[in-house]
Amino acid sequence: MEISSDQINLTVEFVKSFHQNEATGHDWFHIQRVTNMAKKIGRLEGGEIDKIELTALLHDVADHKLNNGDEKLGIKKVADFLDRINIPEQIIKDVLHDIGHLSYKGAEVKQIELSLEGKIVQDADRIDALGAIGIARTFAYGGHKNRMIYDPESKLEMHTDFEKYKSSTSPTINHFYEKLLLLKDRMNTSTAKGIADQRHLFMENFLEQFYHEWDTN
């Protein structure tokens, strides 16, 4: 094993500190859920569990949403941290590649190829964007960004590049169609696909109830 338990523990401390007081749905509990789910998928689908755990713990430190829109700042934070705790150079390179290309960047934006470990973490992260927790996180983020809940006149957009997706100000309900409902068919592993199917159905039922209540006023 090239990643020690001490290095994992240091990573947990670093990540908890980074996500402290985070209220957009990208808090420590999200990281914890993604890490646990990724390890579960990894045990069934393969991959190096220690690298899966390291990647899952750090995946949102690099997220532009948590770095004032800067796509490079988070990557540098992760690189500096991993170097500081003496993670081997090749593992640093692998982790930085995966977390740099792991997040969803728009419906029509091509996905960069990830390692098996990266694909597993991506699946776990996307699972946490689905179901009841996914719905709660979506509205938490929408409120944080001062977005309307719903506007019947707002048109959906299948974003063709990351800049358009990143700068979108559309209502939160639009986000279900522009991202969340697309994730089920973008899972990498069979294990994740089975879990995603159940959570996808829950979201469809939620939307059906939402429109029913909206239309009966």
Listed residue (112, 141, 117, 133) closest to 59, CA to CA: 117
How far is 128 from 137, CA to CA, in rounded Å? Answer: 9
* Number of domains the chain is built from: 1
pLDDT at 132: 97
pLDDT at 211: 96
What pTM did the predictor assign? Answer: 0.92
Q: Can you give the CATH number for the domain in which 162 is found?
A: 1.10.3210.50
Per the structure, the complete domain to which residue 9 belongs is given by 5-215
How far is 92 from 94, CA to CA, in rounded Å? Answer: 5
pLDDT at 201: 98
Per-residue pLDDT reduced to its tens digit, 94-144:
999 999 989 877 666 678 899 999 999 999 999 999 999 999 999 999 998
How far is 23 from 208, CA to CA, in rounded Å? Answer: 27
Percentage of the chain modeled with pLDDT above 70: 90
Q: Quick one: angle between helices 49-58 and 89-100, nearest 10?
A: 50
User: Mean pLDDT, the chain, as a whole number?
Assistant: 90
How far is 92 from 127, CA to CA, in rounded Å? Answer: 25
Per-residue pLDDT reduced to its tens digit, 42-83:
999 999 999 999 999 999 888 767 666 667 888 899 999 999
